[in-house]
Structure 1
Amino acid sequence: MPSPRRNQISIEDTPYYHCCSRVVRRAFLCGDDPYSGQNYDHRRSWVDSLLMKLNSVFAIDIAAFAIMSNHLHVILRIDVDTANQWTDREVLEQWHLLFKGDDLTHRFVKGALIEGNEVTKLKHTIATYRSRLCDISWFMRCLNEPIARQANQEDNCTGRFWEGRFKCQALLDDTALLACMAYVDLNPIRSKLAKTLTQSEHTSIKLRIQAAINSEQPKSLLPFIGNEHQNQLKGIAFSLKDYLELVDETGRIIRNDKRGTISKHTEKILSRMALPHENWLKIITNFGALFHGPVGTLSELSLYCEHLEKQRRHFSKCCHYMSSG
């Protein structure tokens, strides 16, 4: 039986989570459907635009994403601090960008007088919405449900469009985060849908490369705060330049099937991550098969299980891939 989300998410251990949704029907989410002969590439823009909208509403940042033919990947960072810093009015304003709300919440936002007997209800509503706006399950619900309705309407059918639940993996340390990001960014190349990163449409890596040409970072993505942006308040503690070089070289190796040809510079990058290049290539090419649960070192997994009161450390056999030991 699938584990409840509350038993998978531990903010105490990590704010980063890899989510994956896959369609349940034979019809594709995007791309060419060999059975019907139809092309659904236009649906990628549905997902793309909705992702960017949700990013601006929720206190959740997008670190990486890839929209594939029958599934999508997104790596999210829960930003509890931002959610807690919002005023009560800001919480309701954010919520109203997606949902109608009710008469009480709209009156409060407009500055109307709230009766004494309504205050308790209003405070409870605001607390609920504040919690939901930094909740991954609500984020994925707001992403998947509109896409399913729109696709079903286009296909003139009813029923499930996505599998019952989206997959959610905790990324317990920086190495796990970077490895998962590279895995997601390289999905089109690994699936032979693109030969280069710049040809990888509807992915976070293409957005980062396009922005990097102008020495910038995409506003819609969580920034790297390594060597380039020391003044950033939040972001990925790694050099953007090193990440782009690492992913580019890994993509060339995967595409050309030249295993073991990691350059000396990339070896240095991986050594800082305490990850042998053999492990790196194994992870990037087989991430989905290797990791079915939380990803990290054995020590990080132990803490994660302890905080969630898990009696057994499931998936511990995969931990050796995330270290040099």
Structure 2
Amino acid sequence: MARLSRLEIIDPSEPTIVHVINRTVRRCFLMGDDPFTGQNFDHRKQWIEVLLERFAAHFGIELLCYSILSNHYHLILRTQPELVADWGDSEIARRWLMICPARMTNGEPAEPTDAELNAIRNDPERLAEIRCRLSDPSWWMRLLNQRIAQRANREDEESGKFWQDRFRAIRIEDEESLLACAAYVDLNQVRAGLAETIEESEFSSIHARIESEFGSSTVVSQAMDTSRDENQKRERSQRRDKFLSKLTIDERQDDLGICESDSPHRLSDKGFLPLTLSQYIELLEWTVEQSSADQKATTVRPPVALKQTGLSEHAWKTLVDGFAEVFTHVAARIETLESCRSRLTGRRFRITNEARQLVSAAA
């Protein structure tokens, strides 16, 4: 079946949360241990993390979650076009030149000169085009993939494709789907056998959050009891997760709107899950236990966070194990899925039988 145009799924001018997936060509192990050649390419995962940090600091898009494996990666992005629309011309030009720098200094983008800024500010057509790009996930993915492919091909002395032709996008429409998708992304390395626990899942958002909150050498279950001591936490500017969106949102007390961040490392201080980090970790660890071979784990009571979703244990485990297979273009409860239409043709999106069964069972 032909893959739909992303413009049928995502409107860059509207706030959107989207799960994106991209694979290396022929699913080769071009970013980890290659079992055929014995080569290790983990350093390419670091290249991706560096670019993710830069993009999160300058795009009008937030990075909620990520996981980088040996032959593919997952991201959850949240676009903020309304915020981009309020930026002045100079801010638009500066941000773009930090993403696509005219010059580099010590491997980092150099601050743009007035002449470089004026080349964008004084060209209304180009300025409008760049403003649209800054909140467009397709441009985030295009530039990310292009940079990594070019650098990897130089290293390998190759000139062919590094990535498959197109990345896959799934628009996320409700809180339950977002939580399931976040768990799917953060547990990806455990599920793939690259890590035994979430705290060992390097090159992932959950690893960055755990390291920032509890320290790199701390066992999470022990550290969670002392995490309330704010004096033990690192300064935000030194945290590994400083470029990630804040995890927790308090819908009753947090300010309404975008909550633009004062930090130069991320766009907003708005969270995205109605859970604390400790509650989220508890849910992830319980999910891992349920997937293990130890049948005794099935007697453990599910966390409160799962009960709040209205999903059964079976539905939750199935979604977290195969989110990208259950949902094709949009992830949501069944009533929302049935009402969704292509932006270009008005046609309904395909809904898998498994999605109908799982999300229809939600209370």
Shorter-chain TM-score range: 0.7 to 0.9
Question: C-alpha displacement at 1:299, in angstroms?
Answer: 1.9
Which amino acid in 2 is paired with 1:224? L
Which amino acid in 2 is paired with 1:289? E
Are 2:47 and 1:49 aligned?
A: no
Asked whether the equivalents of residues 22 and 167 of structure 2 are also in contact (C-alpha less than 8 Å), the reply is yes
Question: C-alpha displacement at 1:279, in angstroms?
Answer: 0.4
Question: C-alpha displacement at 1:295, in angstroms?
Answer: 1.0
Question: Once structures 1 and 2 are overlaid, which stretch shifts more, 167-176 or 222-231?
Answer: 222-231
Are 2:259 and 1:223 aligned?
A: no
Give the aligned partner of residue 107 of structure 2: none
Q: Pairwise mapping of residues 1-325 of structure 1 onto structure 2 (< 5 A)?
A: 1-10=2-11, 15-25=16-26, 27-99=28-100, 106-107=114-115, 109=117, 122-213=123-214, 218-226=241-249, 230-231=253-254, 233=259, 234-240=270-276, 241-256=278-293, 258=295, 261=298, 263-264=300-301, 266=303, 268-305=304-341, 309-315=345-351, 317=353, 318-325=355-362
Asked whether the equivalents of residues 13 and 303 of structure 1 are also in contact (C-alpha less than 8 Å), the reply is no
Question: C-alpha displacement at 1:191, in angstroms?
Answer: 0.9
Q: The residue matched to 1:75 in structure 2 has which SS?
A: strand
Question: C-alpha displacement at 1:323, in angstroms?
Answer: 4.3
Deviations along 1:83-117, whole A, 9 cap, x unmatched?
A: 1121111000001112357xxx954846xxx9xxx
Asked whether the equivalents of residues 24 and 164 of structure 2 are also in contact (C-alpha less than 8 Å), the reply is yes
Distance in 2, Cα, partners of 1:166 & 1:287: 16
Which amino acid in 2 is paired with 1:221? L
Which amino acid in 2 is paired with 1:18? H
Question: C-alpha displacement at 1:144, in angstroms?
Answer: 0.5
Deviations along 1:227-259, whole A, 9 cap, x unmatched?
A: 599446322141123222111211232244549
Question: C-alpha displacement at 1:262, in angstroms?
Answer: 6.5
Distance in 2, Cα, partners of 1:259 & 1:291: 31
Question: C-alpha displacement at 1:146, in angstroms?
Answer: 0.8
Asked whether the equivalents of residues 14 and 171 of structure 1 are also in contact (C-alpha less than 8 Å), the reply is no
Asked whether the equivalents of residues 67 and 202 of structure 1 are also in contact (C-alpha less than 8 Å), the reply is yes
Deviations along 1:246-284, whole A, 9 cap, x unmatched?
A: 112112322445497264351x32221111111001111
* Consecutive unaligned residues in structure 1, runs of 5 or more: none
Q: The residue matched to 1:20 in structure 2 has which SS?
A: strand
Q: TM-score, normalised by structure 1?
A: 0.87
Give the aligned partner of residue 217 of structure 2: none
Asked whether the equivalents of residues 21 and 168 of structure 2 are also in contact (C-alpha less than 8 Å), the reply is yes
Aligned pairs, number: 314
Distance 1:8 1:307, change over 3 A: closer
Distance in 2, Cα, partners of 1:16 & 1:27: 29
Question: C-alpha displacement at 1:305, in angstroms?
Answer: 1.4
Q: The residue matched to 2:169 in structure 1 has which SS?
A: strand
Distance in 1, Cα, partners of 2:299 & 2:73: 28
Which amino acid in 1 is paired with 2:248? I
Q: TM-score, normalised by structure 2?
A: 0.78
Distance 1:74 1:203, change over 3 A: same
* Consecutive unaligned residues in structure 2, runs of 5 or more: 103-112, 215-226, 260-269
Distance in 2, Cα, partners of 1:195 & 1:245: 15
Distance 1:260 1:288, change over 3 A: farther
Q: The residue matched to 2:306 in structure 1 has which SS?
A: helix
Question: Once structures 1 and 2 are overlaid, which stretch shifts more, 194-203 or 25-34?
Answer: 25-34
Q: The residue matched to 2:340 in structure 1 has which SS?
A: helix
Please tell me the root mean square deviation across aligned C-alpha atoms, in Å: 2.8
Which amino acid in 2 is paired with 1:225? T
Deviations along 1:185-213, whole A, 9 cap, x unmatched?
A: 10111111111111100000111112232
Question: C-alpha displacement at 1:315, in angstroms?
Answer: 1.4
Question: C-alpha displacement at 1:300, in angstroms?
Answer: 1.6
| Percent sequence identity over aligned pairs | 32
Question: C-alpha displacement at 1:306, in angstroms?
Answer: 6.8
Distance 1:184 1:262, change over 3 A: farther
Which amino acid in 2 is paired with 1:38? Q
